[in-house]
Structure 1
């Protein structure tokens, strides 16, 4: 899977690169069969399809705003279509993994949408990962193409075909390609992302997530937390789990993604019109200096320490605090809960979200009795549909493919909720 800029046709107007103007956003890939039937219509069952529909209804609305500039929905969709066309003309095929490693949320959005439009699988690599972690992403995905920034390009240049999305020359080449009429090539039942697992040590694993799982997870957040307010702020870097979680919740609600204001920087409004999405670790680091007064703080990822709940309500007494527990990929929740002052029990994980079935198992894969500790496992249509193992790594014989293993010890309480438990020895 390579991207060959020399395959360009000489059509299409000159355009400004995303570092100088709003960068592209998601538009959904459809099936290859759509090529024979004329331009396919974007499906609202896919991530990029939802985005394209929103771009058509609110073309001038801001999709992403950060210190470097803003990106409208229409510009994001157009830039993503151009980039997707180049990917297809350069050899990216349905189901091919493409790594996205950008230092700018606008570039990251355009890259992810382009991969989806081309029918590929996004492999997000959060800005700031170290060399070992980046190597794990590359090895696990076996991707040959990386969409990146100039600041991140060197990490991949020796073994991958790279395209820096803040390079004016790269965008000059991209815009010489004709727009591919077969786009989008995505389908709701096909893989959209390969998310690297965040569980413990050992050989890294990844999780393939289809469009349907994302839609179910986002729709469930809208049902429980409410539609995203006008502005959704994110503390994490581009392509991080919290950024992915915030991005698709915002776009499904017609809202925009914003970076968290830096200390001493005016927040540009607050209150019920904005929300913040962070991991518990990110929130613990920024809470004392946060410039926002959001109506909601949505935590996603690991367990929430009791002292963080106490600190939150001391600093922001009128702000809702919710937690989605996503123990493997940090994005798609297994359990969810609303936190209230003075704080819930420190080990409580909440109740399983709809469309997720939880199992607590012993070291042989057998279900434990109620109140007995074991490893927390889960399956369901709003979770990844399969696990990708590091080359050379084999799973335990009892492991069933539909069940995701968290590596976390927990027990089920009488009311059906879950709590952390000491590791089983």
Structure 2
């Protein structure tokens, strides 16, 4: 059905653009989404009896009105009474169900003789223009009206999930529940129709971080038929206000292509009719629907309708407020003003958002040096076990005494308070004794992994300014002016320990080197007080105490070790040092957990994935009561079978986000089986004493839900980068909102209204591979330092959803054909730790570029073989050897019997997979230690044969 009158243009039902959108409820099945309503005061003397008689007259002339519903009610109140207002609003908000009933009229008669007509219609058949004409005809049937038969429905309503808005943070369980937010009424001098369109575009572009905003637009009015069309407006920060308003005015003009689907956001823009109360929609026609009305005098008013499955109610209020703000700002701004100069978030809102991301510190925080806190625990628990490795267990008193001896020996060798001492030791009790001894000497320890290449060790020692290094490695590289001491020398030093130098909590406790984009690692200097604050923020919540047994699983050069070592020793717990090869064998590590009845387990998700599989296969019971994830993003779905064996009521699982520069951990999120059904990106709220906020490139606070760079503040922020004043100034900044010192993390995230943080990855070229934070630029820089290399690119390859398959792929342009992959690999291994050496090296004549001159990553394909020029490769050789068949199954490459597992992209996680594949093939598994000694299929075959004949 459609309506025409002398004052209204014809609106054919079957063909008008709205028919494609409203004939089928593509977003849910609620008919309210496709209905609108009009309340009109009837002329004096016109009541329900008159309207019913007029409808009868119209029905005789126009059979199409036969199915129109008509109701009336007499209210014993005046038209201005609150009861009358509520009744009008209720009737105006009740939908009609569509064909054959596409409209309903209700006449409300009041005690003062006034009467209102409430007309509700399905927009498919009666648009805004037709609704106005129908209301007029029901009051005066003499008006000429054309009511053709309504168009056939396009089909039954289709239920389904609504479109998603990444920033909307809607709850899928709330899909179908709707809410409204009133948009502030505004009087503008110009562009009343264009302003809502322009403001919506600017806010959407700001929220999505794009140059263009796309949404649906429906326009119409009492004298203008409805049109609906998709809109794409350039509304980025550089767009001028004048350009945006001109484009919005063109978009709001009649015409355009009809919508082909239902987008997430739509604007319904209608010219107002004096005296009427018009509701453009009764429920969100789109998941997010901005229904605006404008009058000829420039008055704007509107309502935001939203679906809670798409938009969180807090985000809905925020979004509506920002659109309101932009309407007023665009109306006042000079035409040449860049849109980016108009801030979405005002000062008060920014302060509120920052406050939401802050967790107040607990009152029991004590500012003290790490070793002073340890002495307090040792004095209280002298005979309790403190530290265990493969060969021995030290009590707290013994650990205290041995570290005192180390401190005295260091001072005797010239180490002074404030110095930095390198520590490069294997993972055993001596490592922890040394670290504690360095602190007691008043120095800061600089941990180095014993597996690092010589060049990296030299850089760390030189850059840190360490004059003394503790190392048991016979081949530790010599550095001019640096004394290398064996821990045995210190333990034999004897004598009385020197007096405690009385470290200030602000003194540096340790310097950990992380990957740097300049091609060399950068040293992060962390004060003592930060470590104490971390334990104060977590110990009560995690119930850390003397009953706990922890593992030192991670390298001391990885900041997770700071949490493991001091988390155990500063809370009276028992720390078990995990030997290097045990840490790389899930079976052996699981045995260690069972044997020592470990209660607190810290893992990267990659390492835990393999440990979990061992646990599920075995029968031995773990004593673990707390699992803490860190180091890399966690896919919570991997925990489903873990919770099946270890209920969350007995074993608490916590996901933590953190950065070396903010003292290991920043946020925490306790996980339950309910969390595993969805791929949540939440890492929880800030720890007590910490804060998180999300900022744009200019440092402005981003609204809730809107992605940006994560800035971290509070008790964990490190002191500085060693010897890098410019980088320190760029990354450790003063907050323009609070004046607080914050760290710009380079991580991408969004803040939820409840203060929880979603971690969305890295903004720059930094990646995580098996828990290690890696700057791709550092690897590229090392490759480019080779005089035979003219260009290079390094990208993350493999299956990023499979931690074992994630790899680094290098693409190199060489100066001449004589350069080989083997040469490139050997040189990279001299400067980079093994986890940073690319798994594949591909030689190219040139790097593919985009039109913008950047490397076109999409056109980079790794060579079919990782080291095709490696001696012994026999890609076409038949895999008669069952070990070789397993080799090729795991690596996915045609490796030869003499090809090195690790040179062909193998890593510790793939080694675990290899061991399992050998077992499934009926062959004895090999340990990681054995694989390091026998890294080829031929050698493993010989190893297995030797076992069988023994």
In the other structure, the counterpart of 2:227 is: none
Deviation at 1:45, TM superposition (A): 2.4
Deviations 1:67-93 (A, max 9, x none): 122122112111211211122222212
Determine which of 134, 138, 154 is the counterpart of 2:475.
154
In structure 2, the CA distance between the partners of 1:157 and 1:69, relative to structure 1 (3 Å rule), is: farther
1:257 aligns with 2:589: no
In the other structure, the counterpart of 1:187 is: 504
In the other structure, the counterpart of 1:371 is: 705
In the other structure, the counterpart of 1:118 is: 441
Where do 1:265-344 residues align within 5 Å?
A: 265=591, 267-268=594-595, 270=597, 274-290=599-615, 292-317=622-647, 318-329=650-661, 331-343=663-675
Deviations 1:309-351 (A, max 9, x none): 3353245334211122113358531111111114354311211
Where do 1:161-176 residues align within 5 Å?
A: 161-165=483-487, 167=488, 169=489, 171-172=491-492, 174-175=493-494
1:403 aligns with 2:762: no
CA distance in 2 between counterparts of 1:132 and 1:403 reads: 33
TM-score scaled by structure 1? 0.78
Q: 3-state SS of the aligned residue for 1:421?
A: strand
CA distance in 1 between counterparts of 2:557 and 2:566 reads: 12
CA distance in 1 between counterparts of 2:550 and 2:600 reads: 5
Where do 1:182-261 residues align within 5 Å?
A: 182-197=499-514, 203-228=520-545, 229-238=547-556, 240-260=558-578
Q: 3-state SS of the aligned residue for 2:595?
A: coil
Deviation at 1:278, TM superposition (A): 2.2
1:142 aligns with 2:142: no
1:359 aligns with 2:689: no
Deviation at 1:203, TM superposition (A): 4.6
Deviation at 1:239, TM superposition (A): 5.2
In structure 2, the CA distance between the partners of 1:376 and 1:269, relative to structure 1 (3 Å rule), is: same
CA distance in 2 between counterparts of 1:201 and 1:281 reads: 27
CA distance in 2 between counterparts of 1:137 and 1:277 reads: 26
Determine which of 413, 417, 422 is the counterpart of 2:752.
413
In the other structure, the counterpart of 2:401 is: 78
Deviations 1:354-398 (A, max 9, x none): 2112232222333323322211121212332x2215559645758
CA distance in 1 between counterparts of 2:551 and 2:668 reads: 20
TM-score scaled by structure 2? 0.37
In structure 2, the CA distance between the partners of 1:397 and 1:158, relative to structure 1 (3 Å rule), is: closer
In structure 2, the CA distance between the partners of 1:238 and 1:381, relative to structure 1 (3 Å rule), is: closer
Deviation at 1:256, TM superposition (A): 0.7
In the other structure, the counterpart of 1:64 is: 387
CA distance in 2 between counterparts of 1:378 and 1:361 reads: 11
In the other structure, the counterpart of 1:5 is: none
Q: 3-state SS of the aligned residue for 1:367?
A: coil
In the other structure, the counterpart of 1:92 is: 415
CA distance in 2 between counterparts of 1:84 and 1:269 reads: 30
Larger Rg: 2
Deviations 1:179-222 (A, max 9, x none): 32x22432223221223335778553333222221111112111
CA distance in 2 between counterparts of 1:61 and 1:48 reads: 17
CA distance in 2 between counterparts of 1:419 and 1:193 reads: 29
CA distance in 1 between counterparts of 2:554 and 2:763 reads: 33
1:388 aligns with 2:721: yes
CA distance in 2 between counterparts of 1:310 and 1:329 reads: 32
Q: 3-state SS of the aligned residue for 1:364?
A: coil
Deviation at 1:61, TM superposition (A): 1.9
In structure 2, the CA distance between the partners of 1:65 and 1:279, relative to structure 1 (3 Å rule), is: same
CA distance in 2 between counterparts of 1:91 and 1:54 reads: 29
| Structure 2 gaps, min length 5 | 1-365, 735-740, 765-950
In structure 2, the CA distance between the partners of 1:293 and 1:399, relative to structure 1 (3 Å rule), is: closer
CA contact (8 A) 1:198 1:327 kept: no
CA distance in 2 between counterparts of 1:125 and 1:302 reads: 21
CA contact (8 A) 2:423 2:448 kept: yes
| Structure 1 gaps, min length 5 | 1-42
In structure 2, the CA distance between the partners of 1:355 and 1:117, relative to structure 1 (3 Å rule), is: same
In structure 2, the CA distance between the partners of 1:235 and 1:394, relative to structure 1 (3 Å rule), is: closer
CA contact (8 A) 2:513 2:557 kept: no
CA distance in 2 between counterparts of 1:415 and 1:72 reads: 44
CA contact (8 A) 2:663 2:717 kept: no
Q: 3-state SS of the aligned residue for 1:301?
A: coil
CA distance in 2 between counterparts of 1:214 and 1:392 reads: 24
Deviation at 1:64, TM superposition (A): 0.9
* Aligned length in residues: 373
CA contact (8 A) 1:197 1:329 kept: no
CA distance in 2 between counterparts of 1:58 and 1:410 reads: 43
In structure 2, the CA distance between the partners of 1:421 and 1:53, relative to structure 1 (3 Å rule), is: closer
Q: 3-state SS of the aligned residue for 1:304?
A: coil
Q: 3-state SS of the aligned residue for 2:599?
A: strand
CA contact (8 A) 1:203 1:393 kept: no
CA distance in 1 between counterparts of 2:732 and 2:379 reads: 45
Deviation at 1:235, TM superposition (A): 2.3
CA distance in 2 between counterparts of 1:96 and 1:391 reads: 18
CA distance in 2 between counterparts of 1:278 and 1:72 reads: 26
Deviation at 1:65, TM superposition (A): 0.9
CA distance in 1 between counterparts of 2:464 and 2:608 reads: 30
CA contact (8 A) 1:44 1:53 kept: no
